[in-house]
């Protein structure tokens, strides 16, 4: 395996230096060091990040070859100062030029390593740039390819148009997590709990969740903020049986004021957990959007990735949802799954087109360290993990043929081919929650195990997080503490904002 050592004599932007180097060498093994004394003797490539006075230095050493780039830097600035970003841009663009020059490769997203490339474009538009100017700036300043810069600018325009309908200043969104799944997928890195092992605790979980719902609803009534959107995600929310689903939806709808609600999504998720009875229960509440997630329409891949459902079950679940009366159904896909090549993706897209959902979210496979796919990597060595622009283009074409346009996007670490996840929707069928969570324009109040409540710290771009514990048993026993922590955090935030 190709070995890379990163020596950080200057640690100011260590995360960015590491992520950008890894984007060029996704399969390499890395050692990150902070002093020369720790240096191992053997590596194929050494990157050194250093600074002295008002200058940054980045060097690249491979075999006998040593290249050095230097650039002036701005003085030290406190965290959160917008000008501090300029120093980061300087160091990243030097490193990008070195790595790109030596590998003779460019990256689709240039030197951007963050998860929200469209956020940069939205900021440019908010500061008065046109979409064309935003696109050009992404290309010239961050070396983003023209195709991706166009995508980011297009999404930014649509996001801003959609957000103009939401009063983020006085509103908030609610996320409710159901952390159970019928079985655990091979690539999963969420903290999801297998229903087989946890079925006897689901009602205890709901009892705890009802407490958190009641406590948080009371708190939000005091804040007088308006509930804009609700998203029930997971895990797989339809792991709940119909009685439990009814219990959950009843608790939410009776405790929160839904008079201003713009959207209510239930991520049904795994087709093997969707039944007619559950769909009827969901439809009897003011749910506006559901998601039926195939990930792929190729049976051999479904079997391989441990999704334990058939292609037929996906089609049936989708048709059932239609018959029940849902007129806004999303389907999630993953490209880059093990063993899948262009014809497989083409097949998936053709079958999705026949079903004709209102929206489709295309994920590029990201294999996190904790996923079984990574842990048992050796077992899958022979397999292709194919993802390339041609495959991405197929998904763009299919979305266009279904009259969908891209409206939100995010990137993850360890994505195959350094691509992106894109949500496409027909006009009027977009999911506002997806944009709100990306753009962080209003507080997201999260309930349930693993829920992460987020709101922006006044006067800065930083986000404050209040995390619930991830473990289901811990959550059940400590739910009062979760509710109290939220109350303290939100009240403190309100006193600083008003
Ligand atoms: S359905 Fe989603 S959350 Fe559940 S195991 Fe699969 S990837 Fe993880």
Cα–Cα distance list, 493 to 219, 229, 412, 482 (Å): 13, 21, 29, 17
Which of 65, 98, 131 corresponds to the end of one domain? 98
Whether 183 maps to a domain, the answer reads: yes
Whether 61 maps to a domain, the answer reads: yes
59 close to 48: Cβ distance less than 8 angstroms: yes
Q: Is the pLDDT of residue 412 over 90?
A: no
Which contiguous run of DSSP H or E holds residue 492?
helix 472-497
- Looking from the CA of residue 234, the nearest atom of ligand 1 is 3
Domain count, the chain: 2
pLDDT tens sequence across 131-170? 999 999 999 999 999 999 999 999 999 999 999 999 999 9
Give the model's pLDDT for residue 383: 56
Which range marks the domain in which residue 216 is found? Answer: 165-453
- Which CATH number belongs to the domain containing residue 308 in this structure? 3.80.30.20
Q: Is the pLDDT of residue 418 over 80?
A: no
pLDDT tens sequence across 290-335? 999 999 999 999 988 888 889 999 999 999 999 999 999 999 999 9
Is residue 235 in contact with ligand 1, taking CB distance under 6 Å? yes
Which contiguous run of DSSP H or E holds residue 241?
none
Which of 71, 98, 125 corresponds to the end of one domain? 98
Please indicate, yes or no, whether residues 218 and 362 belong to a single structural domain of this protein. Answer: yes
How big is the CA angle at 175 (ends 174 and 177), to the nearest 5 degrees?
A: 150
Whether 460 maps to a domain, the answer reads: no
Whether 79 maps to a domain, the answer reads: yes
pLDDT tens sequence across 349-382? 999 999 999 999 999 887 665 555 564 555 555 5
Higher pLDDT, 191 or 330: 330
Please indicate, yes or no, whether residues 80 and 173 belong to a single structural domain of this protein. Answer: no
Is residue 309 in contact with ligand 1, taking CB distance under 6 Å? no
Whether 461 maps to a domain, the answer reads: no
Please indicate, yes or no, whether residues 255 and 373 belong to a single structural domain of this protein. Answer: yes
- Looking from the CA of residue 181, the nearest atom of ligand 1 is 4
Which of 436, 453, 470 corresponds to the end of one domain? 453
Is residue 192 in contact with ligand 1, taking CB distance under 6 Å? yes
Please indicate, yes or no, whether residues 74 and 181 belong to a single structural domain of this protein. Answer: no
263 close to 433: Cβ distance less than 8 angstroms: yes
Q: b/e for 52-66, b at 16 or more Cβ within 10 A?
A: eeeebbbbbbeeeee
Please indicate, yes or no, whether residues 280 and 373 belong to a single structural domain of this protein. Answer: yes
- Which CATH number belongs to the domain containing residue 39 in this structure? 3.30.160
Give the CB-side neighbour count of residue 268, counting CA atoms within 13 A.
Answer: 33
Contacts 24+ apart (CB under 8 A), 65-74: 67/98, 67/101, 67/102, 69/94, 69/95, 69/97, 69/98, 70/94
Please indicate, yes or no, whether residues 272 and 175 belong to a single structural domain of this protein. Answer: yes
Please indicate, yes or no, whether residues 224 and 349 belong to a single structural domain of this protein. Answer: yes
13 close to 39: Cβ distance less than 8 angstroms: no
For ligand 1, atom 3, name the residue with the nearest CA.
235
Alpha carbon of 179 to ligand 1 centroid (Å): 9
Give the model's pLDDT for residue 9: 87
Is residue 269 in contact with ligand 1, taking CB distance under 6 Å? yes
Please indicate, yes or no, whether residues 244 and 371 belong to a single structural domain of this protein. Answer: yes
């Amino acid at each position: 395996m190709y070995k890379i050592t990163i020596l950080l004599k200057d640690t100011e932007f260590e995360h960015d230096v590491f992520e950008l180097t890894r984007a060029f060498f996704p399969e390499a093994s890395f050692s990150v060091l902070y002093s020369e004394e720790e240096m191992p003797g053997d590596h194929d490539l050494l990157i050194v990040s250093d600074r002295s006075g008002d200058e940054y230095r980045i060097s690249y050493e491979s075999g006998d070859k040593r290249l050095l780039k230097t650039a002036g830097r701005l003085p030290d600035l406190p965290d959160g100062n917008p000008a501090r970003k300029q120093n980061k841009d300087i160091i990243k663009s030097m490193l990008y030029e070195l790595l790109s020059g030596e590998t003779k490769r460019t990256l689709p997203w240039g030197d951007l390593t963050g998860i929200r490339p469209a956020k940069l474009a939205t900021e440019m538009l908010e500061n008065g740039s046109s979409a064309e100017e935003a696109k050009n700036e992404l290309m010239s300043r961050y070396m983003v390819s023209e195709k991706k810069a166009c995508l980011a600018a297009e999404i930014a325009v649509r996001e801003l148009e959609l957000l103009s309908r939401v009063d983020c200043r006085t509103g908030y969104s609610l996320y409710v997590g159901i952390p159970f799944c019928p079985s655990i997928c091979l690539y999963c890195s969420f903290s999801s709990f297998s229903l087989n092992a946890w079925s006897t605790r689901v009602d205890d979980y709901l009892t705890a969740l009802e407490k958190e719902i009641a406590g948080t609803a009371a708190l939000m009534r005091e804040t007088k903020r308006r509930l804009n959107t609700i998203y029930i995600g997971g895990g797989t929310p339809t792991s709940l049986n119909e009685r439990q689903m009814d219990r959950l939806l009843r608790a939410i709808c009776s405790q929160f004021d839904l008079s201003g609600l713009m959207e209510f999504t239930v991520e049904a998720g795994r087709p093997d957990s969707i039944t007619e009875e559950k769909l009827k229960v969901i439809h009897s509440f003011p749910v506006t959007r559901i998601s039926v997630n195939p990930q792929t329409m190729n049976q051999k891949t479904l079997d391989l990735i441990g999704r334990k459902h058939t292609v037929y079950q996906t089609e049936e679940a989708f048709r059932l949802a239609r018959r029940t009366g849902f007129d806004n159904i999303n389907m999630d896909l993953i490209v880059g799954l093990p063993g899948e090549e262009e014809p497989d993706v083409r097949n998936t897209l053709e079958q999705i087109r026949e079903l004709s959902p209102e929206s489709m979210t295309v994920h590029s496979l990201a294999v996190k360290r904790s996923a079984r796919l990574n842990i048992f990597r050796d077992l899958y060595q022979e397999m292709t993990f194919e993802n390339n622009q041609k495959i991405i283009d197929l998904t763009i074409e299919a979305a266009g043929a279904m009259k969908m346009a891209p409206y939100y996007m995010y990137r993850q670490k360890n994505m195959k081919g350094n691509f992106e996840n894109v949500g496409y929707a027909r006009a009027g069928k977009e999911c506002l929650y997806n944009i709100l969570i990306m753009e962080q324009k209003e507080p997201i109040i999260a309930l349930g195990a693993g829920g992460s409540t987020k709101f922006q710290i006044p006067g800065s771009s930083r986000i404050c997080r209040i995390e619930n514990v991830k473990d289901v048993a811990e959550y059940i026993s400590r739910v009062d503490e979760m509710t109290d922590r939220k109350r303290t955090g939100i009240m403190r935030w309100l006193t600083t904002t008003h």
